[in-house]
Amino acid sequence: MGELPRHIAVIMDGNGRWAKKRLLPRNAGHREGLKRMISLSEHAFGRGIEYVTLFALSTENLARPQEELGALFALFRKYFTENLERLKAKGIRLKVIGDERLLPGDIWALARSGEEETAGGKSGMLVLAIGYGGRQDILAAVNAAVRGGKEVTGEEFSALLSTGGIPFPDLLIRTGKEKRLSNFLLYECAYTELYFSDKMFPAFTNADLDRALESYAKRDRRYGKI
Ligand code: FPP
């Protein structure tokens, strides 16, 4: 087995289609997705991956029907209240990124208190992107740089992104058959290895993650050099 990625990012797509195929409501797919997300991230940390970033809701997803959004918000609240002990026990630090103006304030309050409670974690970091858009994040960083009144270096610019301080992802996995980035970590993924799975997220097993890691291990990352 070759090298393990230090940071994996996952676009958890396909919850709705997974549910539809089973004649279940879309929300059942999200509930199953949450279970999968917890197991998958713990498996990744167990294997020694240090950072796991998960795309749970994009700025564009916020145009979905209120009923679906309400169910997703309920899952976020549930996660931020019921999973902190688990994270703390495993030494995992929580970080939540996204536009605070776009989701109900109580969700952000729970997210921030979850970040504080898990701040001592030394084994890994779980980054959840909710109400997040890569372009919007780049734009916010550009505006922050402009307000600073002087040109910034690449390093200074990265620090202004909501992922500031976190190394760029080594491997990006997208489940659910589509092959696009959908506004996720656009600046950060410039040299990230991409892995696409046809499986819907609730059906993407820990063994599937192992296969993605095997694929990563075989790749030759040249960063444009020869
Ligand atoms: C994309 O599938 C998935 C989402 C928009 C939501 C992902 C959320 C979870 C896995 C639960 C997250 C919970 C926490 C606490 C972060 P889709 O609905 O677009 O599926 P489709 O393309 O098949 O319709």
Domains of the chain as residue ranges with CATH: 7-133+169-217 (3.40.1180.10)
Tell me how crowded residue 15 is: count the other CB atoms within 10 A of its CB.
25
Q: Tell me which residue has its CA closest to atom 24 in ligand 1.
A: 16
Residue 59, ligand 1, Cβ within 6 A: no
Is 61 noted as a catalytic residue in this protein?
yes
pLDDT in tens, 19-72: 999 999 999 999 999 999 999 999 999 999 999 999 999 999 999 999 999 999
* Residue 39 CA, ligand 1 centroid: distance in Å: 15
DSSP state of 161: S
pLDDT reported for residue 79:
97
pLDDT in tens, 173-182: 999 999 999 9
Task: Give long-range contacts, CB 8 A cutoff, 24+ apart: 180-183.
Answer: 181/11, 181/134, 182/11, 182/13, 182/55, 182/58, 182/60, 183/58, 183/59, 183/60, 183/133, 183/134, 183/135
pLDDT reported for residue 2:
66
Which ligand 1 atom sits closest to the C-alpha of 19?
Answer: 23
Q: Tell me which residue has its CA closest to atom 6 in ligand 1.
A: 56
Residue 94, ligand 1, Cβ within 6 A: no
Q: Would you give the distance in Å from CA 181 to the centre of its chain? A: 12
Residue 15, ligand 1, Cβ within 6 A: yes
* 217 confidence band (pLDDT: 50, 70, 90): very high
Q: How far is residue 32's CA from residue 199's CA, in Å, rounded to a whole number?
A: 14
pLDDT in tens, 128-146: 999 999 999 999 999 999 9
Rounded to the nearest 10 degrees, the angle between the axes of helix 26-46 and helix 206-217 is 50
Which ligand 1 atom sits closest to the C-alpha of 57?
Answer: 5
